[in-house]
Amino acid sequence: MDKINRRDFLKLVGAGSGAVLASTLPMSGMMNLFETKDTMSFRGVAGVPSNIFPVYASYLVEGSVNLANKTGIMTRTLFAGAPSENSTLALPGTSRAIRVTNVVREGPVTRILGVIDDKSQLLPGEADRVDIKIDQGHATAEAIFFGSRVTMRLTS
Amino acid sequence: MADHLDSPSAKIDERIDITDVYIFHPNRTNLDRTVLAVNVNPFAGKVGQTTFRPSDDGSIYEIKVDSNGDALADIAFRFTFANSGNGQTVTVKRATGGQSRGPENLGTVLATGTTGSVITNGDVTLFAGLRDDPFFFDLMGFLHGLNFTGTDFFAGGNITAIVLEVPTSMVGTGNVGIWARTLIPENGVLTQVDRMGRPAINTVFNHTPQDKDAFNAGQPRSDVAQFTNNVVNTLLSLGNDQATAQTLAGILLPDLLTIDLTKPSAFLNGRNLDDDVIDAELGVIIPAGSSLPKSDGVNANDVAFSTNFPYMATPH
| B135: contact with A, CB 8 A cutoff | no
**pLDDT tens digits, residue range B233-261?**
999 999 999 999 999 999 999 999 999 99
Q: Tell whether the torsion through CA atoms of B101, B102, B103 and B104 is positive or negative.
A: negative
Q: How far is A82 from chain B (nearest CA, A)?
A: 7
Q: What is the pLDDT of residue A35?
A: 74
What distance in Å separates the CA atoms of residue B115 and residue B127, rounded to the nearest whole number?
7
User: Which of B141, B144, B209 has its CB closest to that of A82?
Assistant: B209
Per-residue pLDDT for B179 more than 70? Answer: yes
Is residue B69 within 8 Å of residue B80, measured between CB atoms? no
- Show residues of chain B in contact with A53, CB under 8 Å: 142, 204, 234
- Please spell the DSSP secondary structure of chain A, one letter per residue: -----HHHHHHHHT-HHHHHHHHHSPPSSS--EEE-SSEEEEEEEEEES-SSSPP-EEEEEEEEEETTTTEEEEEEEEEES-GGG----BPTT--EEEEEEEEEEETTEEEEEEE-S-GGGPPTT--SEEEEEEETTTTEEEEEETTEEEEEEE--
| Residue ranges with strand state E in chain B | 18-24, 33-40, 60-66, 75-84, 87-96, 108-114, 119-121, 124-132, 158-167, 175-186, 189-196, 257-260
pLDDT band at B282 (very low <50, low <70, confident <90, very high): very high
What distance in Å separates the CA atoms of residue B37 and residue B24, rounded to the nearest whole number?
9
Residues linked to residue A64 through DSSP beta bridges, in sequence order: A41, A73
What distance in Å separates the CA atoms of residue B140 and residue B46, rounded to the nearest whole number?
18
Q: What is the pLDDT of residue A129?
A: 98
SS3 string, A122-147, reads CCCCCCCEEEEEEECCCCEEEEEECC
Query: Which residues in chain B (150-169) have CB-CB distances under 8 A to chain A?
Result: 150-151, 157
| A126: contact with B, CB 8 A cutoff | yes
- Could you give the dihedral angle defined by the CA atoms of residues B225, B231, B235 and B241, in that order, rounded to the nearest 10 degrees? 0
| A50: contact with B, CB 8 A cutoff | yes
Q: What is the pLDDT of residue A29?
A: 30
- Show residues of chain A in contact with B143, CB under 8 Å: 48-49, 56-57, 78, 146, 148
What distance in Å separates the CA atoms of residue B91 and residue B80, rounded to the nearest whole number?
5
Q: How far is A7 from chain B (nearest CA, A)?
A: 15
**pLDDT tens digits, residue range B67-94?**
999 999 999 999 999 999 999 999 999 9
What distance in Å separates the CA atoms of residue B316 and residue B308, rounded to the nearest whole number?
18
Mean pLDDT of B184-204: 96
User: Percent of chain B having pLDDT more than 90?
Assistant: 97
Q: What is the pLDDT of residue B14?
A: 95
| B238: contact with A, CB 8 A cutoff | yes
- Show residues of chain A in contact with B45, CB under 8 Å: 3
User: Which of B8, B144, B208 has its CB closest to that of A48?
Assistant: B144
pLDDT, greater one: A18 or A137: A137
Domain ranges across chain A = 6-154
Interchain pair B142, A54: CB under 8 A: no
What distance in Å separates the CA atoms of residue B164 and residue B119, rounded to the nearest whole number?
10
Domain ranges across chain B = 9-285
Mean pLDDT, chain A, rounded, equals 82
Mean pLDDT of B41-53: 93
ipTM: 0.95
Which of B140, B229, B232 to probe by mutation at the A interface, max A CB count within 10 Å? B140
pLDDT band at A37 (very low <50, low <70, confident <90, very high): confident
Q: What is the pLDDT of residue A7?
A: 40
Q: Tell whether the torsion through CA atoms of B188, B65, B23 and B299 is positive or negative.
A: negative
Sheet holding B158-167, edge to edge: B18-24, B33-40, B158-167, B124-132, B119-121
Interchain pair A56, B143: CB under 8 A: yes
- Show residues of chain B in contact with A84, CB under 8 Å: 209
Mean pLDDT of B149-159: 97
pLDDT band at A32 (very low <50, low <70, confident <90, very high): low
pLDDT band at A2 (very low <50, low <70, confident <90, very high): very low
- Please spell the DSSP secondary structure of B202-229, one letter per residue: HHHH--SHHHHHHHHHS-HHHHHHHHHH
What distance in Å separates the CA atoms of residue B234 and residue A7, rounded to the nearest whole number?
35
Interchain pair A147, B157: CB under 8 A: no
Q: Which residues contact B44 (CB under 8 A, 6 or more apart)?
A: B14, B50, B130, B133, B157, B158, B159, B160, B315
User: Which of B140, B204, B234 has its CB closest to that of A125?
Assistant: B140
User: Which of A52, A53, A80 has its CB closest to that of B5?
Assistant: A80
Pairing assessment for the beta strands A33-35 and A140-145 based on DSSP bridges: unpaired
Mean pLDDT of A59-78: 96
**pLDDT tens digits, residue range A79-107?**
999 999 999 999 999 999 999 999 999 88
Q: What is the pLDDT of residue A47?
A: 97
C-alpha angle B253-B255-B259 in degrees, rounded to nearest 5: 105
Per-residue pLDDT for B54 more than 80? Answer: yes
User: Which of A3, A54, A80 has its CB closest to that of B207?
Assistant: A54
Residue type, A92: P
